[in-house]
Amino acid sequence: MSEPLLVVDRVTRRFGGLLAVNAASLSAQQGRITALIGPNGAGKTTLFAMISGFIPASEGIIRFAGEDIGGEPPHRLARRGIARTFQIVQPFAGLSVCENILVGAHLHHRAREAALAAAEAVGRKVGLGDLLERAADTLTVAGRKRLELARALAISPRLLLLDEVLAGLNPSEIRDFVPVIRGLCDEGITIIMIEHVMQAVMSLAEHVFVLAEGRVIADGTPAQVAADPLVIEAYLGHGAAAKLRASHAG
Amino acid sequence: MKELTPIAAVLTVLAAVPLFVHSNTTLNFLVIALMIALAGQGWNVLGGYGGQYSFGHAAFFGTGAYVTAVLQVRYGINAWLGFVAGIAAGAALGGVIGALTFRSGLRGSYFALVTLAFAEVLRIVASVAPITGAGVGTLMTLELGLHALQFESRAAFYWVILTLVGASLIIVHFIERSRFGVWLVAVRENEDAAQALGVDARKIKTIAMTISGAITAAAGCFYAQYFLFVDSGIAYGTWISIEALLTPIIGGVGTVFGPLLGALVVKSLGEGAKLVTGDVPGLDLIVYGAVLVLVIAFAPRGLIGGLYQAGRYLRRLAVSPTIPLRKVRS
């Protein structure tokens, strides 16, 4: 198999005495959806911040498309094709939906008309077609999540890092959103998603990495990972897997 | 080009003023107001569009004024060249201060304080350095004529400053619609999100500060040509830093016409207050304070934003009376 689009090799990040990410390794295959799951505080968002250049890694190597990208600032990585969304949505609140997307669209389109056309196309693709002229701060939570995604898509990324885009959505909104994500994958965009909504992880991801206390404790297909005793213990506490097995047996 | 119509209309109206107004006092007042509008437009590029609130735009105003004056008086350089050199010096200073402060990651009030410090340091240096005439200041030679950019009639000066203001309006209009402008506003709204979308925030802010410095320096160059005298307290004084940030805030930050409208309104109020109370020192400053409080309380997006709000309110008033009437009938 050819080298994965993204390779994270034994990356560590310390904040003072706190070890947020501890020699974590993962990879994302070209054109696939990879999920990153784990309990709160496991270091998932920190890992994303390192991949997208917002926080430098203390140790370890991050390779994108075969090149070492360690230490590059976020805007350069965006130009290379790495886009991210933020867990806490960060809209340009004073601007309209279309203007928000336009910021990303300008990366590859210098002329205003071309960038506007690209922004509108992306807006329609994620289902914001009717809301393009609305002020970004008047959108609902679901709308803001879509806007977050639209902006990231506007830079035509090769790798898309989705940080809990489904969090805070109700079940019907999640049902609407999942096909959008699958559609992006079908277009050839490689996706890594941090997600707590397991139903979405199970249906979307081909490969799952489980992070707990800064370490990757398991990886595999969604079904493999869900059955892994280590993963169950990371979520439910020490001894939980044994108890669960006992209760099933009994 | 159709979007330039409002700018063209405003400039045409303003250009016609000296044809009807011959009072030197009034023209003098308008010249000063336009000069402040120009200084404020410079601040608006960085503060209004870029969200970087500078408290030290006197640094650019003063540099423009001193470079224009000193080059002519000490080196015998032509006034036009001196003027251009003054603008270039303002741009260069903006680039340098921008590179230094943004590289250090200074934001918000830290940025404001550092710009204030730069202006104060320049003021103190100018008040002791021999080349600026130190405490005495630099007095320029009177030499009327187009070649020396000095005119006997106030109207000529008025058209000069109006041309500069017009140029600044057009520049800001094009910034607003350019990729640079879109990215600059994105940096103002959320720097992290902008960077995630490929915007080199530091570079964008530094370019904005360069343009900002050039425009405010142009106001300083004009000051020197108009008054033919520059000293450190005038050129680098806090008064111009305050005027440069108040006029766009009152007129409407991040709008093309904000600084012009703000300057005309604030200066009119200041002059009006002086007429009523005589020359009580500091009264115009009280007017500034009061207007600022009112604007921030009732129209946080400035007078231009307030006008939009009022327009929407009036339209709703014009439409709504029919609604309760129908309800009553049914």
- What are the tens digits of pLDDT across the range B263-287? 999 888 878 777 777 767 777 778 7
Nearest CA in chain A to B189: A92
CB-based contact B179 A106, cutoff 8 Å = yes
Read off the pLDDT band of B330 (50, 70, 90): very low
pLDDT at A250 over 70: no
| Residue A197 sits at the chain B interface (C-beta within 8 Å) | no
Cβ-Cβ pairs closer than 8 A, A with B, add up to: 72
**B-chain residues within 8 Å CB-CB of A93?**
189-190
Read off the pLDDT band of A1 (50, 70, 90): low
Angle between helices B258-277 and B283-298 (to 10 degrees): 140
Q: Which of A133-147, B38-52, B163-177, B310-324 has the lowest mean pLDDT?
A: B310-324
B202 to chain A nearest CA, in Å?
Answer: 10
pLDDT at A108 over 60: yes
Please tell me the predicted confidence (pLDDT) of residue B325.
Answer: 41
Helix residue spans in B178-237 (DSSP H): 179-189, 191-196, 201-227, 232-235
3-class secondary structure, A59 = strand
B110 to chain A nearest CA, in Å?
Answer: 22
| Residue A104 sits at the chain B interface (C-beta within 8 Å) | yes
**B-chain residues within 8 Å CB-CB of A79?**
198
Nearest CA in chain B to A110: B179
Mutation target vs A (from B49, B102, B178, B197; most A CBs, 10 A cutoff):
B197
Mutation target vs B (from A52, A72, A92, A107; most B CBs, 10 A cutoff):
A92
Q: What rounded mean pLDDT belongs to chain A?
A: 92
In this prediction, residues B43-60 reach a mean pLDDT of 96
In this prediction, residues B132-156 reach a mean pLDDT of 86
In this prediction, residues B25-31 reach a mean pLDDT of 93
pLDDT at A68 over 90: yes
CB-based contact A86 B189, cutoff 8 Å = no
Please tell me the predicted confidence (pLDDT) of residue A36.
Answer: 95
In this prediction, residues B222-247 reach a mean pLDDT of 94
Question: How far is Cα A15 from Cα A216, in angstroms, rounded to an integer?
Answer: 18
In this prediction, residues A8-17 reach a mean pLDDT of 94
pLDDT at B321 over 60: no
CB-based contact A110 B189, cutoff 8 Å = no
Question: How far is Cα B259 from Cα A176, in angstroms, rounded to an integer?
Answer: 46
Please tell me the predicted confidence (pLDDT) of residue B115.
Answer: 96
Q: Which residue has the higher pLDDT, B35 or A244?
A: B35
Question: How far is Cα A152 from Cα A176, in angstroms, rounded to an integer?
Answer: 19
Question: How far is Cα B83 from Cα B144, in angstroms, rounded to an integer?
Answer: 16
| Residue A48 sits at the chain B interface (C-beta within 8 Å) | no
Read off the pLDDT band of B83 (50, 70, 90): very high
What distance lies between CA A145 and its chain's CA centroid?
Answer: 12
pLDDT at A57 over 50: yes
CB-based contact A75 B198, cutoff 8 Å = yes
CB-based contact A112 B178, cutoff 8 Å = yes
Please tell me the predicted confidence (pLDDT) of residue B323.
Answer: 43
pLDDT at A249 over 60: yes
Sign of CA dihedral B255, A109, B52, B160: negative
Report strand pairing: A67-68 vs A59-64: antiparallel
Read off the pLDDT band of B327 (50, 70, 90): very low
Nearest CA in chain A to B176: A112
Nearest CA in chain B to A152: B197
In this prediction, residues B81-99 reach a mean pLDDT of 97
pLDDT tens, residue by residue, A129-167: 999 999 999 999 999 999 999 999 999 999 999 999 998
Please tell me the predicted confidence (pLDDT) of residue B319.
Answer: 62
Q: Which of A46, A73, A68 is nearest to A194 (CA)?
A: A46
CB-based contact A107 B198, cutoff 8 Å = yes
DSSP H/E element including A35:
strand A33-37
In this prediction, residues A228-237 reach a mean pLDDT of 86
3-class secondary structure, A108 = coil
| Residue A116 sits at the chain B interface (C-beta within 8 Å) | no
Query: What pTM was computed for the model?
Result: 0.90
Joined together, the tokens standing for residue B102 give 């943004």
- Rounded to 10 degrees, the C-alpha dihedral B102/B103/B105/B110 comes to -50
Q: How many CB atoms lie within 10 A of CB A203?
A: 13
In this prediction, residues B6-17 reach a mean pLDDT of 94
Residues from B in contact with A at Cβ < 8 Å: 177-179, 182-183, 185-186, 189-190, 192-201
**B-chain residues within 8 Å CB-CB of A97?**
none
Interface predicted TM-score (ipTM) over 0.85: yes
Q: What rounded mean pLDDT belongs to chain B?
A: 90
